[in-house]
Structure 1
Amino acid sequence: MILIYTHKITPRVRYIFKHIFTRILLIDIDFTTKVEEFVAFNGPKISYTNVALGKEFFIKSAHLLFEQGVNDVEVTMGKWDKVPCFFGVGSKSSIPFDIFSASFYLITRYEEYLPHVKDKHGRYSAEESLAYQQGFLEKPLIDIWAYKLLKTLKERFPDYTYPLRKYKFIATIDVDNAFAYKYKSIVRTIGGFFTDAYQLKIFNMWDRIAVRFNIKKDPFDTYKEILKLKKEHNIKTIFFFLIGDYSSFDTNISYAKGKFKLLIKDMVDYARVGLHPSYYTIHNATLLKKEKERLEGITNMPMIRSRQHFLRFSLPKTYQQLIDLEILEDYSMGYANHVGFRASTCTPFYFYDLDYEIQTPLKVFPFALMDTTLNLHLKLTPRQSIGKIRELLNEVKRVNGTFIPLFHNESLSNYLYWKGWQRVYGTMVKMAAKK
């Protein structure tokens, strides 16, 4: 156990120290505000305050963890060796910046509470973020800082036993369109047929007819392939099903279709299942509740995990809605148009609500990349995408973090603009499943 002295134990202090020491470094900590208790302690200890008490391991504190609410924060970048950092505190500190305030700023998405320009879908865009602007979006910076801190602690306290966490991999699949053509209504089928005819998409017309008459397998029916890889490599896999009402952004087949319900029930038997709240739930708690109850009615089990469709969420409102509905895990923390670590960590963390200054029960699982980002936004080929996936995976493995990619059942179809992409998912699973 490491004892932490600070002049004031705030909810922010307790939250971020627990994340860095307990969740990343697996080190037990305790806090004290009593100088005499700190001085008398014989084990490893750290002071986090304005001025060192003596010659102890001292990290000078900035102001952020002792404030309340959201204020304009001046961020000036520096370097810790070759690693970017900010909130510099000078040479008297054992490390040159306030690692805890900087980590809190990034992991709480503090900047997303400040005024910013949203994209066309009402989302906070990567380009607005400090991580993108300063070039560290593709690095789990908080975890990197934590491991550099660990190295410094080992030099100062060599006799202390430091455990090492294990790398984890979670495959996640968003089911926006369970099937390309099958089980869709007659109106949508006829409408799609004439649209293809107008655009002279002859092969699409044939595929639509062939699938409807069971001559061909539906191209988006890739579930057996996904489950086969899950079984072969013994990996945790989660399917997020979109079951909202039809709209221009929510185009799945009707949740009421018997075959769709059977598909969801099958996935429950072989993997984990989560809710994929539809496009308009971002500002509609009633609609979110309705969709959660729908999925629970199909699975006959409480729905505890979720990922927003289009990654469309707004802090803190969307997360507050999920908490009110007793959803315990969210997998939306990432960007649609860039790969990388939106919260600058590859460690699942509990959402800290800056409105109420509390750690909530909602656990956030940040993902590192999305298939549509690689293909449609970054315009990478399958080969280039595998290279980018390898880069991000190696960043996670270096800090024994949790690697979470986001794929769709569609991207394994080798169909239309997903030609050649089936091997991308398979190759990624093989790389990521290696411990």
Structure 2
Amino acid sequence: MLSERLNTNRIAYVLFHLSQHFECDSDLRLCFFDSDNPTSRSFYYLAIDGKLVELPVMSSDPCIYFPLTANKADYVTRVEHKGRNIPVLFPLHEDICIYEFDENSNLIFRHDLLKAAFLILSGYQETLGDETDVHGRYRYEDSLQKQLNITTIPVVNYYFDLIVEGLSGFCQKHGIGFRRKRLFENFGFLLSHDVDRIAFYHPREVAFKLKQLLGMAPLYYSKSDTLKLFFKGILYNINPLHGEDPWWNFGMMTELEKKLGLRSSFYFLEKNNGHFDSRYTFRTARIRRLINRLNEEGFETGLHGSYNSAFSKEALCEELNSFTNNTGIKPVGIRQHFLRLRYPDTLLYQEELGFEYDTSLAFAEHEGFRNGYCYPFRPYDFDKDRMAMIWEFPLMLMEVSILGEGYRNLPYTEIGNCAMTLIDEVRKFGGFFSMLWHNCRLDESLYPGITNYYRTLLEDIIKLQPEALTGKDLLNIIKEE
């Protein structure tokens, strides 16, 4: 896997993200050398502004040496860091020493951490094969994260922390001012909601319950409960004033968040001729009113790209235009429905259409860090061998991953444990924790007590004193960096 040495563009990509974690008062002189031929060297400056500038001639200035290897990740060594056993994917020595200083106080890294960081962060592994799940998604089963048991560890942050530790020592030895950087003093909390379904008693939902009763579809509830819900749906459609639909719960959700000092991001999904998509369009009057109210109250509204739009720039463009034309709002953020995308093509479609961030990258089957990083990052365009300009705000926890049949299928009481495990990791690095909770998953019929549990979970997270933010807020923060 990744059996060539990193070229300059890929090195620059890693260093761009590394620069999110430190700043210093002087340019740093870097040397990249072939691990199989140490005399083959190229020299660069890492400028204060994070740009990588080639040096035409060698000098005697103090230098930082990074080895570049053509080895595959056939085996790993491991190092203890910040209480975790971290795999080093491209080890060049049997010992676990990460770096050393020579007699002239040059800093020499002993393993190819740049390549290890690039492999995970760029999503390179997702470009290697055509195997996908039934929804055309990269499979968690095929990932290095599962293979190495690091799904819930932001391993790229650990790599960067080890590199920054070495850089700090180098700068101290040479009298260069050096400061570590954190995106958040504690951690950021990005809460979001995908608005897939808004009508529990929609005629199609009632008809589906009839199919369940007839054995033509799998049961989600007991047969007696399904029968009750079927007749309740019939009555509701005869008399819509019978009561509020349990999936039209946005007032409850926003009042709870405002009480806790939160503002979240809502991503809206247009009906697009597919049974996987929503039952509403952006022309629907109450959807337009909801979107406008959310924006007026300081929440964010973005696009939830339809099932088919993941593989069709034209479909995505139509949905973006429909959202903007009907609401008067041009969304800056997007998440793809079913977390369905082809990496990196779907993200490049989004970039071309003017989206500034995506927040789709997660394993649908498991919570954690799909790209090993708890900071915003930019995807990599492998066809053009360049860093893309759109930002990715990785999704770390989706409640369906815990609850859903075909996923982990755990009790909803496990969601809090999973969240706290991820937050513990994120807080080490001042990163952000992102959680998705669908409005239609606050469903007391399916999960008795879920609403109170959700409220308690948010309260527990807020007690940890994160900086609460929307996707648009996070975008503004990184623009100011």
| TM-score, length of structure 2 as denominator length | 0.76
CA distance in 1, matches of 2:461, 2:24: 26
1:346 aligns to what?
A: 374
- Cα distance, 1:414 vs structure 2: 2.2
CA distance in 2, matches of 1:407, 1:256: 24
2:207 aligns to what?
A: 191
1:420 aligns with 2:426: no
1:162 aligns with 2:162: no
- Cα distance, 1:63 vs structure 2: 4.2
Deviates more, 1:86-95 or 1:313-322: 86-95
Residues 80, 96 of structure 1: 8 Å contact kept: no
> Share of identical aligned residues, percent?
23
Residues 385, 424 of structure 1: 8 Å contact kept: no
1:17 aligns with 2:15: yes
- Cα distance, 1:197 vs structure 2: 5.8
Deviates more, 1:378-387 or 1:23-32: 23-32
User: What amino acid is the match of 1:425?
Assistant: Y
2:295 aligns to what?
A: 268
Q: Classify the secondary structure of the residue corresponding to 2:283.
A: coil
- Return closer, same or farther for 1:117/1:53 CA change in 2, 3 Å cut-off: farther
Mapping of residues 69-80 of structure 1, within 5 Å: 73-80=72-79
Q: Classify the secondary structure of the residue corresponding to 1:404.
A: strand
Residue number among 98, 105, 109 corresponding to 2:119 in the alignment: 105
- Cα distance, 1:31 vs structure 2: 6.0
2:309 aligns to what?
A: 281
CA distance in 2, matches of 1:353, 1:37: 25
Residue number among 152, 163, 168 corresponding to 1:149 in the alignment: 163
User: What amino acid is the match of 1:407?
Assistant: W
Mapping of residues 14-413 of structure 1, within 5 Å: 14-21=12-19, 23-25=20-22, 30=27, 58-63=64-69, 73-81=72-80, 82-90=85-93, 93-94=99-100, 95-158=109-172, 160-165=177-182, 166=184, 167-181=187-201, 184=202, 188=204, 191-192=207-208, 194-195=210-211, 198=214, 201-209=226-234, 211-212=236-237, 213-270=240-297, 271-376=299-404, 377-413=407-443
- Return closer, same or farther for 1:302/1:29 CA change in 2, 3 Å cut-off: farther
- Return closer, same or farther for 1:96/1:54 CA change in 2, 3 Å cut-off: farther
- Cα distance, 1:415 vs structure 2: 2.9
Residues 173, 238 of structure 1: 8 Å contact kept: yes
Matched positions, count: 408
CA distance in 2, matches of 1:114, 1:363: 23
Q: Classify the secondary structure of the residue corresponding to 2:78.
A: strand
Residues 21, 164 of structure 2: 8 Å contact kept: no
CA distance in 2, matches of 1:356, 1:321: 14
CA distance in 2, matches of 1:350, 1:336: 20
Deviations, residues 21-65 of structure 1 (Å, cap 9, x unaligned): 2x23456774657999989x9xxxx9x99xx9989564432247x
| TM-score, length of structure 1 as denominator length | 0.84
Deviations, residues 149-171 of structure 1 (Å, cap 9, x unaligned): 33344444446342442121110
CA distance in 2, matches of 1:223, 1:104: 40
- Cα distance, 1:145 vs structure 2: 2.2
- Return closer, same or farther for 1:120/1:328 CA change in 2, 3 Å cut-off: same
Structure 2 residues not aligned, in runs of 5+: 1-5, 32-40, 101-108, 215-222, 467-481
Residues 244, 277 of structure 1: 8 Å contact kept: no
CA distance in 1, matches of 2:153, 2:22: 18
Q: Classify the secondary structure of the residue corresponding to 1:61.
A: strand
Alignment RMSD (CA, Å): 3.3
Deviations, residues 58-98 of structure 1 (Å, cap 9, x unaligned): 4432247xxxxxxx944421112332111113369434422
